[in-house]
Chains A and B, each alone.
Chain A
């Protein structure tokens, strides 16, 4: 049903089924990855499944998405990604040429991210039982600088940064589906983020509270996670949110709010107020953070909610997306 939308429905599903079944202290925080200690080494471990239609789109394909997605989840734990696994579920009759193309871009992405794909598995399902190609990746990385990054760590006064313009991946996918005869120069933002994250963490040890990649459900969903986990308010400034005009245009036409549209190469960072400008400067000097911006501040009240201050001085509640992205209209 609506459980894939990346918002409240997914969250409820996760809490009701998985957390219940697998209950353990490392799973409980529902962060992007788990921090483990193996033989005295601190490691991060994560897994992600990739289902995307179409498989090839401007700016990337399911292959580099699968590599970057897991690399980014490790990066968000403050880890340096090392090794990945890759599992493929292929539909019978899936063109070999397409598979070659996907594996080639996985290899390229892995080499760019300095990770190796060390193990894998492939299953073929009957025609009509799969959507061409699904990929699952898992990854391990090393945590060199222990830090307590968590959505619950946000403190009153902290600044919230986003590493670049939002909504490009989701908008590119919508266009690539070809249902609309719209031409817009929008490419997926898919990219490995561990480099830019490492620079940030190295420069500001202990001052970064939270890191989240704004994938499904977009920036709005990440901010809601921060507000709920930290029991603080997140106050967003509408005018500060970086969105490219082409993305705004496509979202307007499709009836989407860019705040909820997925990114695959952008992250949200909650940073101590006094280091916010430094963090911003640092992000902006990195090739992946050119349009980084401070978009929000953390406040005490109203705890658990994300508020958007509009250009007119209004204050709107930015809620978690529930099911279809429809407004609460009569």
Chain B
């Protein structure tokens, strides 16, 4: 007999609720080792003993073959004396100690569960709530840690004997699957009409009948309610728009499978991988000509937000309907998505004709995530279901725990401790009371889940932000104000695991500057601890302040003033054009978003908007991507570089007056902005010696602009950082604030 070896292994990371213990159990058995494994509050603890070679192989395979949903962050191994275990066992959880075990994100139904779902002989045949250790609800149903059924919204469903047997069988793929259930013991699906009366018959078949008849059905999903109509049904889509008071913002579409998805959009391998991945986000994809989708689904947009089913309920619904479905957030206007039953029935009562609903509560609201491929890489534009609350890793660890409160639009918060940064799911706009509540309660929930007690609270400099107000109301902590655009660049640095210094190009709508003006077209020398404003778009007045944001034509007036009185936009607003252009007391801004607004209005794309960023989004859609012409813009110093956006606007006006096609003009404008950014960066490289550029801010959600900018910067010899895992928009601000606060402390 060879010498026996014994090790105690502690595994940290996302290792609970992901099938980690069964994996360890079968690995140990396969290698003929004995010992035991259990969850503790910090992760998974393993005692394993046996032959030297077996134990060595065990340690290698532990990380190499770990379950797909797991994410190992740290493995600690301590050698000890063999205890003489006769077999390998899975012991009960140990809830003591501090809480660092990670809660994983919700995950799309796995293939094994899908096979059972489709198998008439299986006891979970057509059961909408099928799940296992590899898939199903996680974050949205978790009330507390350790991750255990009693601390989820499944607590009220007592397991039947069959489910309990699987749950306790280490060899079963549902071993310790906390949300496991079946038709005998689990949640039940119901279809109700708008008055709450239950409709009889099979809920899914009934819902399909209603959808085919052009009705609006509210569907309770994983992180909230959706509103569904058949995607090809123009009347139904228009009805949904009218009832929801959502005038223009595109709807997302769910297709039954890849084959159906390919009829709607151009899908290459990378896109297919995103669509079928565990996170199952909405993927923005180029729409196919003649795709069977109603016009009202995505007005004036060349792309479509597409996703595939991520719960068994969606699979069943889509399979039976056999055509794509609009699946848009269950809300009115731009309110947060409804997720509580009673609230949904009230708020969506005037919108939905029926409710496909169930009795498993959603504890935490999580919208669908949105991703887009930009310049060859994936960028998350809205990070929520499927991604949150999994942590990002900080390059510079936070020596003291940090809470970062983010910005007020596209709000997220971020908790950082050590190397982990937990960015919350997308919450929405904080001036909606429901969102504010999610923000305040969410901070508590995350603090509890991850055992973090913030000692530093980071916030935006803008005193009027509700997020800032909340940050400052927290007592007994150190407050750290972080300038908005510095936070954008820090967010991009953290996203890329870097710490700078870089030339940061922060282009967004606006943020509070340090000089009393509103910034938004910024060139910064930035690292995680500080920044210097090296240049910016030349300032223009924002006539009427907030009115200029709602009415992009005002920005055209601010840029052009008395030039080009013959332009259509000036004629359309002749009554107030001169007043607005000369409006006194208008705040000054260097905003890039407002520059795009001006051009959008000039080209007749958008005079007024119904959602944030609409004018720029539609301008991008209008631009001819084949256009290679470039409008010039002066970049002048000394002192802070000034990029003359006005030059671009005047070039647009001149071409327009000369009768040039608006698509060509929009293309030349995008190219002009990219060229101006590059020229400014080249000048700043001479001054600073910096050769890396970080691009951040909501304006860089514009694929055309991002691609042209990245191309030009790379051609000029720069290394370019852009967003990947957190959005370039204000959804990324909290991570940036946290990274800055961590680096400064």
Q: Which residues in A have some Cβ–Cβ distance to B below 8 Å?
A: 8-9, 177, 179-182, 252-255, 302, 305, 307, 310, 312-317, 319, 321-330
Query: With the chains together, A253 CA to B576 CA distance in Å?
Result: 8
Instruction: Please name 9 pairs of A and B residues whose Cβ atoms are closer than 8 Å in the assembled complex, sorted by A.
Output: A181-B578, A313-B347, A314-B333, A314-B432, A315-B433, A316-B431, A319-B431, A325-B545, A326-B545
User: Within the complex, what minimum Cβ distance (angstroms) separates B573 from chain A?
Assistant: 11
Give chain B residues whose Cβ lies under 8 Å from the Cβ of A315: 335, 432-434
Asked if A316 and B432 sit within 8 Å, CB to CB, the answer is: yes
Any A CB within 8 A of the CB of B444: no
Do residues B698 and A330 form an inter-chain contact, with CB atoms below 8 A?
yes
Find chain A residues with CB under 8 A from B730 CB. Answer: 330
- Cα A325 to Cα B542 with chains together (Å): 12
A329 touches B583 (CB 8 A): no
* B245, B334, B409: the one within 8 Å of A330 (CB): B409
Q: Which residues on the A side are within 8 Å of B465 (C-beta)?
A: 328
Pair B332/A329 contact, Cβ less than 8 Å = no
CA A322 to CA B431, docked complex, whole Å: 14
Q: Which A residues lie within 8 Å of B578 (CB)?
A: 181
Contact of B466 with A by CB under 8 A:
yes
Which residues in A have their C-beta under 8 angstroms from that of B511?
Answer: 330
8 new A-B pairs (CB below 8 Å) besides A312-B335, A314-B334, A326-B464?
A179-B582, A180-B576, A254-B547, A255-B548, A315-B434, A316-B431, A316-B433, A317-B433
Interface contact A255-B464, CB-CB below 8 Å: no
C-alpha spacing A252/B410, complex, angstroms: 25
Bound together, the chains give a CA A322 to CA B463 distance in angstroms of 7
Whether B12 sits at the interface, judged by CB under 8 Å, is no
Could you tell me if A330 and B729 are in contact, using CB atoms closer than 8 angstroms? yes
User: Is there an interface contact between A329 and B431, defined as CB atoms closer than 8 Å?
Assistant: no
From residue 388 to 425 of chain B, which have CB atoms closer than 8 A to chain A? 407-410
Say yes or no: is B509 at the interface (Cβ < 8 Å to chain A). yes
CB-based nearest A residue for B613: A330
- CB of B587 closer than 8 Å to a CB of A: yes
Q: Which 7 A-B pairs have the closest CB atoms?
A: A255-B547, A255-B544, A322-B464, A328-B408, A330-B509, A315-B433, A330-B730
> Which among A253, A313, A319 is the interface contact of B464 at CB below 8 angstroms?
A319
For A310, the chain B residues whose CB sits under 8 A away are: 333
CA–CA, A328 and B543, complex, Å: 17
Tell whether, in the assembled complex, residue A330 and residue B410 are in contact, meaning their CB atoms are under 8 Å apart.
yes
Chain B residues lying within 8 Å of A180, measured Cβ to Cβ, are: 576, 579, 583
Shortest C-beta distance, A73 to chain B (Å), equals 27
A327 CA to B730 CA, complexed, in Å: 15
- Given the known inter-chain contacts A253-B576, A302-B437, A317-B436, please indicate yes or no for A328 contacting B430, CB distance below 8 A: yes
Task: Give the chain B neighbours of A252 by CB distance below 8 A.
Answer: 547
Chain A residue with Cβ nearest B351: A313
Residues of chain A within 8 A (CB-CB) of B543 are 255
Residues of A within 8 A of B518 (CB): 326
Contacts of A325 in B (CB 8 A): 545-546
| B367: interface (CB < 8 Å) | no
Given contacts A302-B437, A324-B587, contact A329 B549 (CB under 8 A): yes
Question: Quick check: B462 and A328 within 8 Å, CB to CB?
Answer: yes
Residues in A neighbouring B466, C-beta threshold 8 A: 317, 319, 328
Q: Would you call A326 and B587 a contact (CB within 8 A)?
A: yes
Q: Are B576 and A313 in contact (CB under 8 A)?
A: no
Binary contact track B480-521/A, C-beta < 8 Å → 1, others 0: 000000000000000000000000000011110000001000
Let me know if B333 and A312 touch, CB within 8 A: yes
Q: Would A329 and B509 count as touching, CB distance under 8 A?
A: yes
| 8 A Cβ contacts from B541-557 to A | 543-549
Is residue B172 contacting chain A, with contact meaning CB distance below 8 A? no
Specify which of B546, B584, B587 is in contact with A179 (CB 8 Å cutoff).
B584
Please, which residue of chain B has its CB at the minimum distance from the CB of A179? B584
Residues of B within 8 A of A (CB): 245, 332-335, 347, 350, 407-410, 429-434, 436-437, 462-466, 469, 508-511, 518, 543-549, 576, 578-580, 582-585, 587, 593, 612, 698, 729-730
Q: How far is the CA of A179 from the CA of B543 in the complex (A)?
A: 12
Smallest beta-carbon distance B733→chain A, Å: 9
CA of A179 to CA of B584 in the docked complex: distance in angstroms?
7
Residue of A nearest to B586 (CB): A255
A48 to chain B, nearest CB (A): 24
Cα-based distance from A234 to B227 in the complex (angstroms): 31
| A317 engages B431 (CB within 8 Å) | yes
Q: How far is the CB of B318 from chain A (nearest CB, A)?
A: 30
Residue from A315, A326, A328 whose CB has the most chain B CB atoms within 10 Å: A328
Decide: B431 and A328 in contact? CB cutoff 8 A: yes
A122 to chain B, nearest CB (A): 31
Q: Does B245 lie within 8 Å of A253, measured CB to CB?
A: no
A298 to B556, CA, bound (A): 43
B335 with A324: CB separation less than 8 A: no
Give the residues in chain B near A317, CB-CB below 8 Å: 430-433, 436, 466
Q: How far is the CA of A301 from the CA of B510 in the complex (A)?
A: 32
Q: Give the distance in Å from the alpha carbon of A317 to the alpha carbon of B411 in the complex.
A: 15
Q: Which residues of chain B have C-beta atoms less than 8 A from A305's C-beta?
A: 433
Q: How far is the CB of A177 from chain B (nearest CB, A)?
A: 8
- Complex interface: chain B residues within 8 A of A321 (CB): 464
User: Chain A: which residue is nearest B246 at the CB level?
Assistant: A312
- Cα distance A172–B737 when bound, in Å? 43
Instruction: Please give, as numbers and ranges, the residues of chain B lying within 8 Å of A253 by CB-CB distance.
Output: 544, 547, 576, 579-580
**Chain B residues near A326 (CB-CB < 8 A):** 464, 518, 545-546, 587
Contact for B583 among A179, A327, A330, CB less than 8 A: A179
Q: B579–A181 contact, CB under 8 A?
A: yes
CB distance from B345 to the nearest CB of A (A): 13
User: In the complex the two chains form, is B433's CB within 8 Å of A255's CB?
Assistant: no
A157, chain B: closest CB distance, angstroms: 19
- CB contacts (< 8 Å) of B347 on chain A: these are 313
With CB as the reference atom, state the residue of chain B lying closest to A180.
B579
Q: Closest approach, in angstroms, between the C-beta of A309 and any C-beta of chain B?
A: 10
Interchain CA distance A306-B583 in the complex, whole Å? 31
A314 touches B335 (CB 8 A): yes
The docked-state distance in angstroms from the alpha carbon of A126 to that of B465 is 41
A255 with B545, Cβ < 8 A, contacts A307-B433, A317-B436, A328-B465 known? yes
Rounded to whole angstroms, the CA-CA distance of A324 and B578 in the bound complex is 23
CB nearest neighbor in A for B699: A330
Q: Which residue of A lies closest to B465 (CB)?
A: A328
- Complex CA distance for A195 and B30, rounded to whole angstroms: 92
Contact of B545 with A182 in the complex, beta carbons under 8 Å: no
Instruction: Give, as a whole number of angstroms, the nearest-CB distance from B570 to chain A.
Output: 15
Q: Cβ of A330: which chain B residues have Cβ within 8 Å of it?
A: 407, 409-410, 508-511, 593, 612, 698, 729-730
Contacts of A9 in B (CB 8 A): 463
- Contact partner, A328, options B332, B335, B409, B508, Cβ 8 Å: B409
Alpha-carbon gap, A315 to B584, bound state (A): 33
Contact between A327 and B332, CB atoms less than 8 A apart: no
Smallest beta-carbon distance A319→chain B, Å: 6
Q: Which of B410, B433, B511, B547 has the most CB of A within 10 A?
A: B433
* Minimal beta-carbon separation of B507 from chain A (angstroms): 11
- Bound-complex Cα distance A326 to B434 (A): 21
A180 to B578 alpha-carbon distance, docked (Å): 9
Residues from chain B with Cβ under 8 Å of A328 in the complex: 407-409, 429-431, 462, 464-466
Residues on A with beta carbons closer than 8 Å to the beta carbon of B580: 253
Distance from A227 Cβ to chain B, minimum over Cβ atoms (Å):
12
Docked CA distance A252–B547 (Å): 7
B579 and A327 within 8 A (CB): no
Q: How far is the CB of A16 from chain B (nearest CB, A)?
A: 14
CB distance B546 to A255 under 8 Å? yes
**B463 in contact with A323 (CB, 8 Å):** yes
Nearest opposing residue in chain B for A305, CB measure = B433
A116 to B729, CA, bound (A): 60
Chain B's nearest CB lies how many Å from the CB of A198?
Answer: 37
* Contact status B332-A313, CB under 8 Å: yes
CA distance in complex: A8, B472 (Å): 14
Bound complex: CA of A316 vs CA of B466, how far in Å?
Answer: 12
Query: Are A329 and B579 in contact (CB-based, < 8 A)?
Result: no
Which of A8, A314, A322 gathers the greatest number of chain B CB atoms within 10 Å?
A314
Q: Which A residues lie within 8 Å of B545 (CB)?
A: 255, 324-326
